[in-house]
Amino acid sequence: MQRRRILKMFAVTTAYSKLLQTDWFGTLLAEVAVRPRPAVGILRLNLGDFPALRNDFGSVRIGTSRLSANVPLGLFYPIVINRAPGNQFFALNSECTHAGCAVPAFNRSSNSSACPCHGSRFGIDGRVINGPASFPLQQYKVGFDAAGTLTIEIPDWPHEVVGSRVEGSGALKPRFRLKFLAFANLEFEVLFRASLAAGWNPIPFSLTPDGPADRTVFAGNDDFTEVYVERATDVGFYAVAIRIEQV
């Protein structure tokens, strides 16, 4: 796909579990593709990166931002991923259906996830065990393959990126501009792959058309942001990624 010829809307979110640095487990990214709305995010996790999920009744909670007073500082609630016997997995929105506090990971000792605010308890599949919550946690569609990859479909997690070539940037190959809405309390990075079959790799970027491309992470500020990358090839795919951590 020759990005210098067209503008693309990136409208699907994906995540990978490759460790990018200490405490960070993956990236939630907008792939280079046009998808019909409403877009569905695809969270992909390698179980090898999460020891708790290697055994029955294991559980982790991952998110795009830290919590404060049991609610996320950023835009999205964490996801609780629980493993049941028989290679059955449950992926749940951690937002408690009573008052919106973030429910923690599943606790095998109590056989539940207990809301820290008002004590509602939920089963491994998100069902209500004890109130005051009246409704189960939102459950996401989950797939699991022989390679140990967990795939979770998450509605309403897309973010959009518009890409365009920068004319007259002074480089041998004009830089490529990526414009997106960078929500506060989220961290973003830029990924590149040369073909659909290739893996994604982080690349440095600049915040100005002519500045040094020496940035690797951008902290969101609830405003539209433009970042600029060097074009090493005439073809390829760029993505803006939201970094994910265990919370």
Q: Where are the domains of the chain?
A: 33-37+160-239, 40-155
- Picking from 87, 89, 95, the residue whose alpha carbon sits closest to that of residue 113 is 95
pLDDT tens across 107-148, in order? 999 999 999 999 999 999 999 999 899 999 999 999 888 878
Question: For residues 239 and 32, what is the distance between their CA atoms, to the nearest angstrom?
Answer: 6
Question: For residues 108 and 81, what is the distance between their CA atoms, to the nearest angstrom?
Answer: 13
The dotted CATH code for 40-155 is 2.102.10.10
Report, as an integer, the average pLDDT of 65-70.
Answer: 88
Tell the residue number behind the tokens 């993505």, with chain if given. 239
Picking from 9-18, 29-38, 117-126, 194-203, which range would have the lowest pLDDT averaged per residue? 9-18
Both tokens assigned to 215:
């940035």
